[in-house]
């Protein structure tokens, strides 16, 4: 599949635009008048661990029914066992990612030249390195055409998440965005860690509670979208765009922002449903479906663009596909570590 087709496929797959990233520089004057003064850092409680587990929280083992019942891809719910593991208590920040880049000279996918051999026939705009960027439109003609608020933006990357003319100066405590699966895996490997599986992520977002009743309400302690997406953001939660990590109360395990702020990459390839014991093995899935699945990854948690009128994916059991090599201004990650517990 060409990069252009992948971009279009990604766009079509965005049923939910719980994403976002760069709305602070794109919001219209009307919303800006009502937006609170921006905070660039929030105070985290003292670190619960030090050494190899610094900044991480222990998530105990347990079993639960993975999934939910709001959207078809959340089914079937099925019993899932997760062993104990350590998890970053926040999304990976710009400062943390910058330390990785400084130490390794790593260049992210969105900063590299586009491979014209693998992606022949691309229009000129897509031949330039970049990322998909959200910007709040003043008006929209229906919600069918998501290009009214999403654009592939040459020059957008983790250093310039809104594209040329934007930067992350003073935003070291914000989650890093515009990273792809390859970028996230490289960071995790450098740290000696991994990306969470979907089951690990969901179990952590449930605060390791198997009996947690599924709630479909918009959460209070998370950076989501209040108002009418995508044109009116009332910022009742304190933020129009991204928030620094740790501005909202943690869950019962001490984990911040699993729900909302940025979507988070997982280690799992996308499947249209949770596989159960009766699902066909991958080699028996029709080739068209298999090809699409192999280019996508499961992402979890929703972002600050999740709104009740458009995307109710601010839930532990919600899930969405993400093109593996396409950076976006609403997408970040956190890491996990398999090691003995405290
Ligand atoms: Ca998140």
pLDDT tens digit sequence for 72-104: 999 999 999 999 999 999 999 999 999 999 999
Q: Is 128 helix (H, G, I), strand (E, B) or coil?
A: coil
Residue 123 Cα to ligand 1 middle (Å): 33
43: exposed, middle or buried (C-beta count within 10 Å: 0-12, 13-18, 19+)?
exposed
Residue 319 has pLDDT above 80, yes or no: yes
Residue 299 Cα to ligand 1 middle (Å): 10
Residue 332 Cα to ligand 1 middle (Å): 8
Element (H, E) at 187: helix 181-190
CA-based nearest residue to 223, from 179, 264, 273, 180 = 264
Residue 113 Cα to ligand 1 middle (Å): 29
What architecture does CATH give domain 3-337?
Answer: Alpha-Beta Complex (3.90)
Residue 339 Cα to ligand 1 middle (Å): 23
C-alpha 289/C-alpha 342 separation (Å) is 43
What percent of the chain stands above pLDDT 90?
Answer: 62
Residue 331 Cα to ligand 1 middle (Å): 9
Residue 286 Cα to ligand 1 middle (Å): 33
Taken as a whole, the chain contains a residue count of 342
Residue 93 Cα to ligand 1 middle (Å): 11
Tens digits of residue pLDDT in 25-54: 333 334 444 545 678 999 998 887 888 799
Residue 294: pLDDT band (50, 70, 90) is low
Residue with tokens 């003995």: 340
Structure confidence at residue 114 (pLDDT)? 87
Structure confidence at residue 24 (pLDDT)? 33
Residue 205 Cα to ligand 1 middle (Å): 10
- Residue 342 to residues 23, 48, 49, 82: CA-CA distances in angstroms? 40, 11, 9, 17
Tens digits of residue pLDDT in 93-149: 999 999 999 999 999 999 999 888 877 888 887 889 999 999 888 888 888 888 888
Inter-axis angle of helices 94-104 and 181-190, to 10 degrees? 70
**Domain boundaries of the chain, sorted by first residue:** 3-337
Residue 23 Cα to ligand 1 middle (Å): 16
Residue 7 Cα to ligand 1 middle (Å): 23
Residue 174 Cα to ligand 1 middle (Å): 11
Residue 288 Cα to ligand 1 middle (Å): 31
C-alpha 167/C-alpha 157 separation (Å) is 9
CA-based nearest residue to 88, from 192, 168, 182 = 192
Residue 11 has pLDDT above 50, yes or no: no
């Amino acid at each position: 599949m060409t990069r252009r087709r992948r971009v279009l496929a990604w766009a079509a797959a965005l049923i939910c635009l719980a994403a976002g990233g760069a709305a602070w520089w794109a919001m219209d004057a009307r919303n800006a008048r009502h937006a609170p003064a921006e905070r660039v850092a929030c105070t985290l409680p003292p670190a619960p661990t030090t050494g190899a587990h610094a900044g991480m929280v222990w998530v105990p083992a347990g079993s639960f029914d993975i999934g939910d019942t709001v959207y078809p891809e959340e089914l079937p719910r099925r019993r899932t066992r997760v062993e104990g593991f350590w998890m970053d208590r926040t999304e990976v920040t710009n400062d943390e990612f910058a330390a990785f880049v400084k130490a390794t000279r790593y260049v992210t996918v969105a900063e590299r030249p586009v491979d014209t051999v693998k992606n022949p026939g691309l229009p000129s705009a897509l031949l330039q390195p970049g990322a998909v960027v959200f910007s709040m439109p003043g008006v929209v003609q229906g919600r069918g055409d998501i290009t009214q608020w999403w654009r592939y933006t040459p020059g957008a990357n983790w250093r310039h998440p809104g594209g040329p003319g934007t930067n992350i100066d003073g935003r070291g405590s914000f989650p890093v965005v515009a990273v792809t699966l390859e970028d996230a895996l490289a960071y995790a490997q450098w740290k000696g860690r991994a990306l969470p599986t979907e089951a690990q992520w969901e179990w952590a977002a449930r605060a390791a509670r198997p009996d947690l009743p599924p709630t479909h309400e918009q959460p209070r302690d998370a950076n989501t979208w209040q108002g009418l997406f995508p044109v009116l953001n009332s910022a009742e939660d304190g933020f129009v765009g991204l928030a620094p990590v740790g501005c909202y109360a943690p869950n019962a395990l001490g984990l911040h922002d699993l729900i909302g702020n940025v979507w988070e990459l997982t280690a799992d390839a996308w499947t249209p449903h949770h596989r159960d014991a009766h699902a066909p093995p991958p080699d028996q899935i029709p080739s068209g479906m298999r090809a699409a699945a192999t280019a996508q990854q499961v992402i979890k948690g929703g972002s600050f663009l999740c709104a009740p009128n458009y995307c109710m994916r601010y839930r532990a059991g919600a899930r969405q596909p993400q093109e593996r090599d396409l950076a976006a201004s609403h997408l970040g990650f956190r890491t996990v570590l398999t090691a003995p517990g405290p």
